Amino acid sequence: MAERHSNQLSYGANNLVVALSDTEVAKVFRGDTRSDIGSEAEKLKVANAINNPLVRFLRLDYDDEHDWDMLIMERLYPLDFRSLEIGKRELLLDVFEDELRQLHKAGFVHRDIPQRRTERPSNQSGERYDNVFMTDRGLRLIDAGISALRTQVGDKLFGKYIEIEEREMAGFRAYFLSR
């Protein structure tokens, strides 16, 4: 079992997420992960400059006590979407899908609408759509770890990623409206 912390919010496929305050969380990077943390920070900055479906990147930091590199982001408080009428959920989905398509046109693809169960440690459970939160500001994605920028992967691969994400969004739409 992974080490637990009193301010722990979750433990995803590769990273611990801890609460720093009522408004900030840290995604923890341990060991020599400078390229991973820097890459995710840059992708969040790109997406944040375009529109709002991804969690807001705030800064990179270091925790001396725990010897952690930290990607600091806004703290999101998820709401239970089942409390909303189907018509309101459809509207939220329409806005979310439009925002994702704006990101695609600008050269960003998220690539992780459904949580990749095969990438999680074997003892970590999770729901299929753990990366999507419904908040008081709409549907939000909580990370950009495996996201891709067209400038980094080229047009052909980027186009393939968009095709996959469109299928994933159709699956999320069915899930979100059927519960």
Tell me if 131 sits within 8 A of 122, measured CB to CB: no
Q: pLDDT tens digits, residue range 30-41?
A: 876 656 899 999
Whether 141 is covered by a domain: the verdict is: yes
Closest CA to 135 of 62, 31, 25, 54: 54
Residue after which a domain boundary falls, among 58, 74, 90: 74
Domain-located, residue 68:
yes
Same domain membership, residue 152 and residue 70: no
For residues 26 and 92, state if they share a domain.
Answer: no
Residue spans of the chain under pLDDT 50: 1, 117-126
Question: What pLDDT is attached to residue 173?
Answer: 95
Burial code of 60-95, b = ≥16 C-beta within 10 A, e = fewer?
beeeeeeebbbbbbebbeeeebeeeeeeebeebbee
Contact 2, 14 (CB under 8 A): no
Distance of CA 15 to the CA centre of its chain: 12
143 plus 68 within the same structural domain: no
CATH of the domain at 49: 3.30.200.20
Residue ending a domain, among 55, 74, 93, is 74
Does 1 map to a domain? no
What is residue 121's predicted lDDT score, i.e. its pLDDT?
43
List C-alpha distances in Å: 44 to 59, 63, 86, 115.
Answer: 11, 21, 30, 18
In a domain, 143, yes or no: yes
Q: Do 131 and 150 belong to one domain?
A: yes
Residue where one domain finishes, among candidates 56, 74, 92: 74
Which residues lie across from 108 on neighbouring strands? 149
Rounded Cα–Cα distance for residues 92 and 104 (Å): 18
Predicted confidence at residue 24, as pLDDT, reads 98
Q: pTM, whole model, 2 decimals? A: 0.88
Indicate the number of domains in the chain. Answer: 2
- Is the same domain home to 168 and 104? yes
Domain that holds residue 154: 81-178
